[in-house]
Amino acid sequence: MSNPKAPADPVEAPAIDARLVRKIADILKDTGLSEIEVEHAGLKIRVARELTAAPVNYVQAAAPAYAPAPAAAPAAAAAPAAEAAPAPVAARGDAVKSPMVGTAYLSPQPGADPFVKVGDTVSAGQTLLIVEAMKTMNPIAAPKAGKIVEILVADAQPVEFGEPLVVIE
């Protein structure tokens, strides 16, 4: 007979709080992002949504603007990547990091003025740049008001998850 008071398996995974997953999914929906990953106390949760038939309306307007650019993007992106690794983030200010892997674009469409330039004053929630991931344009918003002191990526540059993009002071 088995002992009902036997200790639990020490390798047992922690229980996942469904309310936390729903809150993360709501953040995903509210921000228009396609995926988000959170890690806390050894528990990592990744929530992603698949856009197949009908992308979000703002994506439909932005996506065609960069449609012709991918042919030229690899050559343009190769030059900055070949120079050197990204410079360390300046001690002054806070870095805005990429929430996903993708391609960073500094303007809403080719040939247009960039969203922001070094020296610009931005307000919280203002779009700083966009990151394209899986043909979805994801606006990256300023987390706080401040002054742009450094832009760490070039237009059409591939970016990694967590890579610093812009520094706000």
pLDDT by residue (tens digit) across 55-67?
444 444 444 444 4
pLDDT in tens, 74-119: 444 444 444 444 445 445 789 999 999 999 999 999 889 999 999 9
pLDDT in tens, 16-41: 777 877 887 787 777 777 777 777 77
Averaged pLDDT, 142-151? 95
- Does 10 or 112 have the greater pLDDT score? 112
Q: What per-residue confidence (pLDDT) applies to 83?
A: 47
Taking the C-alpha atoms of 133, 135, 137 and 138 in order, what is their torsion angle to the nearest 10 degrees? -30
Q: What per-residue confidence (pLDDT) applies to 64?
A: 44
- Helix extents (H) in 10-160: 18-31, 57-62, 73-83
Averaged pLDDT, 8-22? 66
- What DSSP character marks residue 142? -
